[in-house]
């Protein structure tokens, strides 16, 4: 066969193979079929080996998103935030590596989560400019509260159906990133914001999708559930923040609320049917590893190549062995955020040792990975402490210590990232008592705490600035800064190992 005939035959075959199958046609007898693929709280987990293989990996997610868009062109891919920060391969580039991967992945919009501000609000604006799709948030305003930092929403038209995707960011960001990261911006009340914006969106669109980082945790003041109750009009909410796995979503009134869990363990898929400009049907499901791989067929090659290059660039710095550990210390979210742990005790001991403070505390939300047994690399430590926090020593009264401890345990049994592990201090806890009256018998290095006495307290700069709601610590006299938490932890582990971290500092009644 002549060469040109071979080329023509190959081209024709390729064209036939690329045509969507009739079963996937967007316009069917029951209406226009739309698809929404979604992720949330990836926290920079981009490798299929992350979280002991629980993470699907960006190459497979990208392959699935792009294949779905080939099969069904009327598809939106959305991310609900906490994406740019969390693992060294991304953190060392201050989020730029994640922006590159997102650009390859076929996303259409995202909203910022609280940890997307961990490099500062100006850096997030810079990352937004790197993206080939918009960051959306209707309630992140400039310092004067006069205009939004990001576009509040984006309109899409698919087969004659007009869809609005409106972004919203949890107001908790003001204290669930380092408050110093967001001094130039303001987080408006999302309920008040949407009461103004929703009538406009409903008047101009057939479907309204809330893309929000709010969550469903009972410890949060504003949740996606509360928002759906207060502001009718959302057809779908693509949610994040609480790391909640909703296999088929949950309904609040007429609103379907969807969330995938976290760390790229699932890809969410919502299927919509719209007829005569009205939503007739909405169903949600989660694709696991097998489902994503079945849809994708193969991982995306360009994404794999990009990640390989990123790994090469960071490998030498991350592979350095900084200490050794005689045992593994766990960091499971449901454990560290509800009870005393050895990992938290070790971190608190390291901070007290470095600063010479009377007391040290570490917020459990700052413990993001296990400490492995054996050799501990810089990557291991950076994975545990991904936020670049600085250790500070401040001066506080005993009454503030009491208030701090009560705040630490007030949400039990619910998980709370502000739950504290302690060093130099012990106390009794009655988790069944009324919040605010759960802590008793507080001893500082064996002596009863005096509300009127002055103590020195070591903590990270996030908590010192009032993070996690620790307003009683905000504005305290600063006595010094001692370096990054990851460096202080590494040095202490190298010198002392994991001795003396047994549980018992918090005695539960």
Could you tell me which of 73, 30, 74 has the C-alpha nearest to residue 278? 30
The reply to whether 302 and 326 lie within a common domain is: no
Asked whether residue 4 is assigned to any structural domain, the reply reads no
**pLDDT value at position 11?**
38
Asked whether residue 11 is assigned to any structural domain, the reply reads no
Asked whether residue 19 is assigned to any structural domain, the reply reads no
Q: Which residue has the higher pLDDT, 16 or 135?
A: 135
The reply to whether 109 and 227 lie within a common domain is: yes
For the record, the structure tokens of 480 come out as: 């010094």
**pLDDT value at position 480?**
83
Q: What is the DSSP letter of 260?
A: B
Number of domains comprising the chain: 2
User: Is residue 327 predicted with pLDDT exceeding 70?
Assistant: yes
Q: Which residue has the tokens 């009461």?
A: 195
Asked whether residue 135 is assigned to any structural domain, the reply reads yes
Domain boundary among 267, 287, 312: 312
pLDDT digits (tens, 9 = 90+) for 350-395: 999 999 999 999 999 999 999 999 999 999 999 999 887 889 999 9
Distance CA 76, CA 270 (A): 10
The reply to whether 345 and 247 lie within a common domain is: no
pLDDT digits (tens, 9 = 90+) for 121-136: 999 999 999 999 999 9
Could you tell me which of 123, 147, 138 has the C-alpha nearest to residue 171? 138
The reply to whether 290 and 370 lie within a common domain is: no
Within a 10 A sphere around the Cβ of 425, how many other Cβ atoms?
Answer: 24
Q: Which residue has the higher pLDDT, 335 or 220?
A: 335
User: Is residue 22 predicted with pLDDT exceeding 50?
Assistant: no
Domain boundary among 279, 312, 345: 312
User: Is residue 3 predicted with pLDDT exceeding 60?
Assistant: no
Asked whether residue 10 is assigned to any structural domain, the reply reads no
CATH at 413:
3.90.780.10
Contact, 35 vs 284, CB < 8 A?
Answer: no
CATH at 150:
3.60.21.10
Asked whether residue 244 is assigned to any structural domain, the reply reads yes
Contact, 54 vs 263, CB < 8 A?
Answer: yes
Q: Which residue has the tokens 């971190």?
A: 347
Distance CA 216, CA 429 (A): 26
Q: The domain containing residue 94 runs over which residues?
A: 25-312
The reply to whether 268 and 327 lie within a common domain is: no
The reply to whether 75 and 102 lie within a common domain is: yes
What is the pLDDT averaged over residues 449-477? 95
Tell me the pTM.
0.80
The reply to whether 336 and 209 lie within a common domain is: no
**pLDDT value at position 92?**
86
Count of positions (residues) in the chain: 509
pLDDT digits (tens, 9 = 90+) for 170-217: 999 998 888 888 999 999 999 999 999 999 999 999 999 999 999 999
CA dist 201 → 204, 331, 365, 391 (Å): 5, 42, 36, 46
């Amino acid at each position: 066969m002549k060469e040109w005939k071979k080329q023509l035959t190959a081209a024709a075959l390729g064209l036939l193979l690329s045509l969507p199958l009739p079963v996937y046609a967007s316009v069917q007898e029951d209406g226009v079929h739309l698809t929404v693929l979604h992720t949330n709280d990836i926290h920079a987990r981009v490798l299929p080996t992350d979280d002991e293989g629980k993470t699907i990996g960006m190459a497979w997610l990208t392959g699935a998103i792009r294949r779905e868009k080939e099969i069904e062109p009327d598809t939106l891919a959305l991310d609900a935030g906490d994406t740019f920060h969390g693992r060294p391969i991304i953190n060392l580039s201050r989020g730029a590596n994640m922006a590159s991967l997102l650009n390859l992945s076929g996303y259409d919009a995202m909203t910022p989560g609280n940890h997307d501000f961990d490099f500062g609000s100006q850096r997030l604006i810079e990352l937004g400019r790197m993206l080939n799709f918009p960051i959306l948030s209707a309630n992140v305003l400039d310092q004067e509260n006069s205009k939004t930092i990001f576009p509040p929403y984006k309109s899409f038209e698919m087969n004659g159906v007009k869809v609005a995707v409106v972004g919203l960011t949890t107001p908790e960001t003001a204290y669930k990133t380092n408050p110093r990261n967001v001094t130039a911006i303001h987080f408006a009340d999302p309920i008040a914001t949407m009461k103004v914006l929703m009538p406009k969106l409903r008047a101009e669109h057939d479907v309204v999708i809330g893309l929000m980082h709010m969550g469903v945790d009972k410890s949060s003041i504003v949740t996606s559930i509360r928002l759906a109750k207060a502001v009718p009009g959302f057809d779908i909410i693509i949610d994040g923040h609480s790391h909640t796995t909703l296999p088929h979503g949950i309904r609040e009134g007429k609103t379907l609320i969807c969330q995938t869990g976290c760390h790229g363990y699932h890809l969410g898929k919502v299927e919509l049917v719209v007829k005569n400009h009205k939503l007739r049907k909405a169903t949600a499901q989660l694709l696991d590893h097998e489902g994503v791989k079945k849809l994708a067929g193969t991982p995306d090659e360009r994404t794999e190549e990009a990640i390989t290059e990123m790994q090469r660039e960071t490998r030498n710095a991350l592979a350095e062995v900084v200490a050794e550990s005689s045992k593994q210390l766990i960091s499971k979210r449901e454990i560290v955020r509800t009870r005393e742990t050895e990992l938290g005790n070790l971190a608190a001991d390291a901070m007290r040792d470095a600063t010479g403070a009377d007391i040290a505390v570490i917020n459990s939300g700052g413990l993001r990975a296990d400490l492995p047994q054996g050799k501990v690399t810089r990557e291991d430590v950076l994975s545990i402490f991904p936020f670049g926090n600085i250790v500070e020593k401040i001066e506080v009264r005993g009454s503030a210590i009491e208030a701090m401890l009560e705040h630490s345990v007030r949400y039990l049994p619910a998980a709370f990232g502000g739950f504290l592990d302690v060093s130099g201090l012990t106390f009794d806890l009655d988790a069944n008592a009324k919040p605010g009256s759960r802590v008793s018998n507080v001893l500082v290095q064996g002596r009863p705490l005096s509300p009127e006495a002055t103590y020195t307290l070591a903590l990270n700069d996030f908590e010192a600035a009032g993070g996690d709601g620790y307003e009683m610590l905000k504005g305290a006299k600063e006595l010094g800064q001692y370096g990054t938490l990851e460096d202080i932890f590494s040095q202490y582990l190298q010198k002392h190992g994991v001795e003396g971290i047994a549980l018992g500092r918090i005695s539960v009644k």
